[in-house]
C-alpha cells in the first residue's frame, strides 16, 4: 500500500457496486421509536454487534479501533465454548447466527436502531459512526451486505449471482463479510435460522440472497466494507486518525475486513489505521507499558540460546549475556549447541551457570526444532508471577549493517515466504519507528508464557518437516491469531554466516565490520585516527600493532587447520601468503580501511595502496626468534 496526503472526495459516481441490498422495507417506512444517539443523525442509533469467544490480539485491535471512534460495541459469546466448527478449514459458523438471533430478539421492535454485525478477530473500524450511517442511508435499503470475492463454501453458486454493472476493473461480488441494517429487518433475516451450530452461516446468507422473493439487488453507494489488498489501497494521515482509500473503487471504507489470504494485509494496515504510526509519531506504540521500578517480583525470564551453525564472536556474545542487568533469581538459561563449539562452551559454562538461577545445556544430538520445544516448554520458572502484556510475542530490530537484511518480513508471498512490503525500507532505515505487527520474525524474540501455554500449546510449535524452527513458529502463531510484534528501535545486529572458516574473524570483514571494529582491532578504532604506538627500527620501516591478540590466535588456528603451518614448529622462518589460506579477499577490506590513514600519516604526500599480505606464526614467547618484521600475526602492506 502507498501513502497519500490528499483529502477525501465525494465518490458517489465512482462507487464500487459490492453492496447487496435486502429490501425488507425502506428507511422511510421504518418506525420512529428509536431514541437519538449523540453524534448520530437524528432518529438513528447505531449498535455494533460482534462475536468473540476469547480475548485475542485481533479482538483487542478491533476494540481499540471501535473506541477510537466512540462506537458502542456488544460482544456475543465471550467466554463461551465454540461449537461452530473449524471455519478456517471447513464450513461452519452457524453458532454466530444463533447468538445474533438471541441478541436481536429484544431489539426487533426498535425501528430507529441500526445494527452493524461484523467479526472481531479480522476487522478494523476505519471511520466514524456518522460516516457509516450516512453511507448506509445512501444505500436506500434496510440491510446492506458487504460482498467478498469468493463464494464460500459452495463456489458453484457463484454463477447464480446477478451480473455486476459494467465495470471491468471490479470483481464479481460473492459471499459476505458482514452487514448493517435496521434491527427489525435483521431480525426478519436471522429468525429464519433453523440449523445446527456447525452448519455454515455464509451459505445461509447466500441462500437468502438468491431467494428472488426477497428482491435482493445491487447498490451503488460508496463502500461501507473493504477487503484490503496492498496493491489497491493507500493510507492518508489525518489529525483525527489515519484513513484508507481503495484506489480501485475510489472509496474510503469505514469497515475493513481481512479474511483468509488478506489477513496479513489487514495486519499491515492495522499498523497505521486508525491510530497507529503517522508522521507525527506512533500513537499506539506505548500502550499498556508499565514501569518495572518498584515491582515486588519482576517477571521470570527464560533465555534460550540456540547455536545452530558456526557462530562468529560467540565468546563475546556469552560475555554480554552474563552482563544482562536483571536479577539472577528471575532468570533461567537453556543453551543448545548443534555445532563444534563444545570445547569453547565447556570452558565458559561454569561461569554462565553461576549467572542464572537455573541453567540447562543440550548438545549436538538434538535437532533445532526439538531443542526449541524442549527449551520453551521444558523450562519452568517460579509460579504465581505473570506478565500481563497484550503483546505476547515481541522481537527487537536486528539488521546486518550495510545491507537490507533484517530479522523480520513485512509481507508474505502466496507460497508463504518472503515478499517485500511497501514500508519495509522506511522501517528498516528508522524513518518509521514504532511497534509493528509483521508476519515473520527470527533470531531473537520474546514469547509470553501465556502464549506458550495457551494458543501455541497444542502440538509442535518449532518442529516442522518442511520449515525451519523460526518459520514454523511464525506460521503457527499466524494460524492461531497471535500477533508477531516487532519493535523498530535498534537493539543490535546479526551476521549471516556462510561457513568455511574456523574462527569468527575470518568470515566476511566488510559485512561484519561493525563488531569486527570493536573486537578484532588492537585497542579501539579511534586509536588509529589519534595516538597509537609506532616503532621505527630503521629508516622508512614502521611497526605498530594492528589487530588484537585474539585475531592473531584465530589466524594461526586457521592456518594450522588448512595446513599452512605444521603444528609444534618451534620457530617458523617463512611466511604464509594469505591467498594460500583463501583469506586474502576476506581481509582486503580490513587493510583498505585501516592502513591508508596510517600510511598517509607516516608518509605525507604519498598515495597508499594496499597490496598482498602474509602472516608469520609463532607460539607465545617465540616473538624474538621471528626477527623484527614478523609477529604472531604479521601483516605487510605497501
As beta bridge partners, residue 107 has none
Residue 257 has pLDDT above 80, yes or no: yes
Mean pLDDT of 334-343: 84
* pLDDT the model gives residue 628: 39
Let me know whether 464 and 605 are in one domain. no
Tens-place pLDDT, residues 367-387: 778 888 777 765 444 433 333
Same domain, 209 and 315: no
d(CA 238, CA 128): 13
Stronger pLDDT, 566 or 221, i.e. the higher one: 566
Q: What is the pLDDT of residue 125?
A: 95
Q: How confident is the model at residue 623 (pLDDT cuts 50, 70, 90)?
A: very low
Over residues 610-614, the mean pLDDT reads 57
Q: State the residue range of the domain holding 345.
A: 299-385
User: Is the pLDDT assigned to residue 81 strictly greater than 80?
Assistant: yes
CA–CA separation, 633 and 143 (whole Å)? 81
**For the residues of 275-324, what is the DSSP string, one character each?**
TSEETTEETTTTTT----TT-SSPPPEEEEEEE-S--TTHHHHHHHHHT-
Boundary residue ending a domain (223, 253, 268): 223
SS3 453: helix
CA-based nearest residue to 341, from 319, 364, 322, 317? 364
d(CA 277, CA 3): 12
Does 537 reside within a domain?
yes
pLDDT of residue 455: 84
* Contact between 22 and 141 (Cβ < 8 Å): yes
Segment of 19-28, 139-148, 519-528 carrying the highest mean pLDDT: 139-148
The mean-pLDDT minimum among 39-53, 269-283, 334-348 falls in 39-53
| Residue 586 or 438, more confident | 438
Q: Is residue 502 part of a domain?
A: no
Higher per-residue pLDDT: 27 or 222: 222
Closest CA to 441 of 494, 401, 389, 515: 494
For 370-411, the three-class secondary structure string (H helix, E strand, C coil) is: HHHHHHHHHCCCCCCCCCCCCCCEEEEEEECCCCCCECEECE
Q: What is the predicted pLDDT for the residue at 438?
A: 97
Specify if 275 maps to a domain: no
Q: Which of 241-255, 273-287, 302-316, 435-449 has the lowest mean pLDDT?
A: 302-316
Residue 235 reports pLDDT greater than 70: yes
**Orientation angle between helical segments 94-104 and 183-190, nearest 10 degrees:** 140
Mean pLDDT, rounded, for 22-50? 53
Does residue 449 lie in a domain region? yes
**pLDDT tops 50 at residue 621:** no
How does pLDDT run across 438-483, given as a tens digit for each residue?
Answer: 999 998 899 988 888 888 877 788 888 889 989 999 999 999 999 9
**C-alpha to C-alpha distance for 41 and 277, rounded to whole angstroms:** 31
Residue 252 has pLDDT above 80, yes or no: yes
Confidence band (pLDDT; 50, 70, 90) for 113? Answer: very high
Using the predicted structure, report yes or no on whether residue 571 has a pLDDT greater than 60. Answer: no
Same domain, 322 and 449: no
> What does pTM read for this prediction?
0.77
Is the pLDDT assigned to residue 292 strictly greater than 50?
Answer: yes
Higher pLDDT, 390 or 125: 125
Q: What is the pLDDT of residue 485?
A: 93
The total number of structural domains that make up the chain: 4
The verdict on 52 and 120 lying in the same domain is yes
Establish if 283 belongs to a structural domain: no
pLDDT at residue 630 tops 60: no
Cβ proximity of 119 and 82 under 8 Å: no
pLDDT at residue 42 tops 70: no
Contact partners, residue 188, CB within 8 Å, separation at least 6: 24
Q: Which cell numbers in the block locate residue 410?
A: 513485512
344 and 396 fall within a common domain: no
Are 367 and 441 found together in one domain? no
Q: What is the C-alpha separation between 389 and 290, in angstroms, rounded?
A: 9
Residue 102: pLDDT band (50, 70, 90) is very high
Residue 278 φ/ψ, nearest 5 degrees:
-150, 170
- 446 in Cβ contact with 392 (< 8 Å): no
The residues, ordered by sequence, that sit 6+ positions from 627 with a Cβ below 8 Å of its Cβ are none
Q: Both 451 and 394 in a single domain?
A: yes
Higher pLDDT: 176 or 354? It is 354
The C-alpha torsion from 222 through 227 and 232 to 237, rounded to 10°, is 70
Digit-coded pLDDT (tens) for 197-227: 999 888 888 888 777 676 544 443 446 777 6
Same domain, 312 and 173: no
Beta strand 408-409 with 393-399: parallel, antiparallel or unpaired?
A: unpaired
Q: Are residues 326 and 455 in the same domain?
A: no
Least confident of 167-171, 194-198, 520-524: 167-171
Q: What is the CA radius of gyration of the chain?
A: 32
Tell me the pLDDT band of 18, cut-offs 50, 70 and 90.
Answer: very low
Final residue before a domain boundary, out of 339, 362, 385: 385
pLDDT at 19: 36
- Between 546 and 276, name the one with better pLDDT: 276
For residues 351 and 321, the answer to whether their CB atoms sit within 8 Å is no
Residue 243, pLDDT > 50, answer yes
Whether residue 290 is contained in a domain is answered as: no
Please indicate, yes or no, if residue 503 is contained in any of the structural domains: no
CA distance 286 to 349: 37
**Rounded CA gap, 76 and 50, in Å?**
6
Q: 427489525: which residue's cell?
A: 184
Do 571 and 620 lie in one domain? The reply is yes
CA proximity to 130, closest of 138, 122, 142: 138
Question: Which pLDDT score is estimated for 29?
Answer: 33
Q: Which residue has the higher pLDDT, 87 or 519?
A: 87
**Same domain, residue pair 591 and 621:** yes
Residue at which a domain ends, from 189, 208, 223: 223
Residues facing 145 on adjacent strands: 20, 179
Q: What is the DSSP letter of 28?
A: G
Is-contact 143 21, C-beta < 8 A? yes
Closest CA to 414 of 293, 579, 559, 260: 260
Nearest CA to 471 out of 440, 437, 438, 436 is that of 440
Q: Where are the alpha helices (DSSP H) in 198-280?
A: 201-210, 263-270
**How far apart are the C-alpha atoms of 239 and 5, rounded to whole Å?**
11
CATH of the domain at 136: 3.90.550
Task: Report the chain's mean pLDDT, rounded to a whole number.
Answer: 75
Is residue 336 located within the same domain as residue 406?
A: no
Query: For residue 7, is it within any domain?
Result: no
Q: Which pLDDT score, from 0 to 100, does residue 7 have?
A: 36
Q: Please classify residue 386 by burial: count the beta carbons closer than 10 Å to its beta carbon, then call 0-12 exposed, 13-18 middle and 19+ buried.
A: exposed
DSSP designation for 87: T
Amino acid at each position: 500500500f502507498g501513502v497519500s496526503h490528499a483529502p477525501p472526495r465525494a465518490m458517489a459516481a465512482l462507487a464500487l457496486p459490492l453492496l447487496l441490498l435486502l429490501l425488507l422495507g425502506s428507511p422511510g417506512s421504518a418506525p420512529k421509536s428509536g431514541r437519538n444517539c449523540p453524534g448520530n443523525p437524528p432518529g438513528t442509533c447505531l449498535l455494533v454487534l460482534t462475536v468473540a469467544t476469547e480475548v485475542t490480539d485481533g479482538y483487542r485491535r478491533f476494540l481499540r479501533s471501535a473506541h477510537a471512534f466512540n462506537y458502542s460495541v456488544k460482544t456475543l459469546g465471550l467466554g463461551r465454548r465454540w461449537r461452530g466448527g473449524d471455519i478456517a478449514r471447513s464450513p461452519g459458523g452457524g453458532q454466530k447466527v444463533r447468538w445474533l438471533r438471541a441478541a436481536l430478539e429484544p431489539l426487533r421492535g426498535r425501528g430507529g436502531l441500526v445494527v452493524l454485525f461484523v467479526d472481531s478477530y479480522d476487522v478494523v473500524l476505519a471511520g466514524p459512526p456518522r460516516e457509516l450511517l450516512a453511507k448506509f442511508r445512501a444505500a436506500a435499503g434496510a440491510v446492506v451486505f458487504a460482498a467478498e470475492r469468493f463464494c464460500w463454501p459452495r463456489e458453484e453458486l457463484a454463477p447464480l449471482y446477478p451480473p455486476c454493472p459494467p465495470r471491468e476493473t471490479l470483481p464479481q461480488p460473492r459471499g459476505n463479510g458482514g452487514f448493517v441494517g435496521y434491527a427489525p429487518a435483521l431480525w426478519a433475516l436471522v429468525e429464519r435460522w433453523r440449523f445446527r451450530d456447525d452448519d455454515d452461516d455464509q451459505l445461509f446468507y447466500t441462500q437468502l440472497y438468491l431467494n428472488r422473493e426477497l428482491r435482493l439487488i445491487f447498490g451503488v453507494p460508496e463502500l461501507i466494507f473493504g477487503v484490503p489488498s496492498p496493491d489497491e489501497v493507500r493510507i492518508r494521515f489525518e489529525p483525527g486518525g489515519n484513513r484508507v482509500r481503495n484506489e480501485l473503487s475510489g472509496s474510503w471504507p469505514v469497515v475493513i475486513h481481512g479474511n483468509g489470504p488478506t489477513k496479513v494485509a489487514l495486519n499491515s494496515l492495522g499498523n497505521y489505521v486508525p491510530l497507529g504510526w503517522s508522521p507525527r509519531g506512533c500513537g499506539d506504540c506505548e500502550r499498556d507499558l508499565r514501569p518495572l521500578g518498584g515491582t515486588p517480583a519482576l517477571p521470570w525470564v527464560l533465555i534460550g540460546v540456540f547455536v545452530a551453525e558456526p557462530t562468529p564472536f560467540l565468546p563475546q556474545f556469552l560475555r554480554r549475556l552474563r552482563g544482562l542487568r536483571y536479577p539472577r533469581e528471575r532468570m533461567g538459561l537453556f543453551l543448545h549447541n548443534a555445532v563444534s563449539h563444545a570445547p569453547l562452551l565447556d570452558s565458559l559454562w561454569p561461569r554462565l551457570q553461576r549467572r542464572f538461577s537455573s541453567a540447562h545445556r543440550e548438545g549436538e544430538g538434538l535437532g533445532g526444532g526439538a531443542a526449541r520445544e524442549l527449551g520453551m516448554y521444558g523450562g519452568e520458572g517460579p509460579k504465581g508471577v505473570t506478565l500481563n502484556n497484550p503483546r505476547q510475542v515481541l522481537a527487537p530490530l536486528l539488521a546486518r549493517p550495510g545491507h537490507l537484511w533484517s530479522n523480520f518480513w513485512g509481507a508474505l508471498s502466496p507460497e508463504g515466504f518472503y515478499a517485500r512490503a511497501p514500508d519495509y525500507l522506511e522501517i528498516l532505515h528508522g524513518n518509521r519507528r514504532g511497534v509493528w505487527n509483521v508476519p515473520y520474525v527470527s533470531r531473537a524474540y520474546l514469547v509470553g508464557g501465556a502464549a506458550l501455554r495457551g494458543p501455541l500449546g497444542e502440538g509442535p510449535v518449532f518442529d516442522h518437516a518442511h520449515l525451519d524452527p523460526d518459520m514454523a513458529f511464525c506460521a503457527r502463531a499466524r494460524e492461531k491469531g497471535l500477533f508477531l510484534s516487532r519493535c523498530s528501535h535498534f537493539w543490535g545486529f546479526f551476521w549471516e554466516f556462510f561457513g568455511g572458516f574456523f574462527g569468527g574473524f575470518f568470515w566476511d570483514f566488510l559485512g561484519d565490520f561493525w563488531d569486527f571494529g570493536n573486537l578484532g582491532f588492537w585497542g579501539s578504532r579511534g586509536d588509529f585516527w589519534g595516538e597509537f604506538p609506532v616503532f621505527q627500527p630503521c629508516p622508512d620501516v614502521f611497526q605498530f600493532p594492528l589487530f588484537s591478540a585474539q585475531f592473531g590466535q584465530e589466524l594461526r588456528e586457521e592456518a594450522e587447520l588448512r595446513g599452512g603451518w605444521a603444528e609444534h614448529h618451534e620457530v617458523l622462518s617463512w611466511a604464509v601468503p594469505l591467498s594460500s589460506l583463501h583469506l586474502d579477499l576476506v581481509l582486503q577490506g580490513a587493510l583498505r580501511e585501516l592502513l591508508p590513514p596510517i600510511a598517509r600519516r607516516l608518509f605525507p604526500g604519498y598515495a597508499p595502496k594496499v597490496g598482498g599480505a602474509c602472516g608469520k606464526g609463532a607460539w607465545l614467547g617465540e616473538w624474538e626468534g621471528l626477527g623484527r618484521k614478523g609477529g604472531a600475526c604479521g601483516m605487510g602492506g605497501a
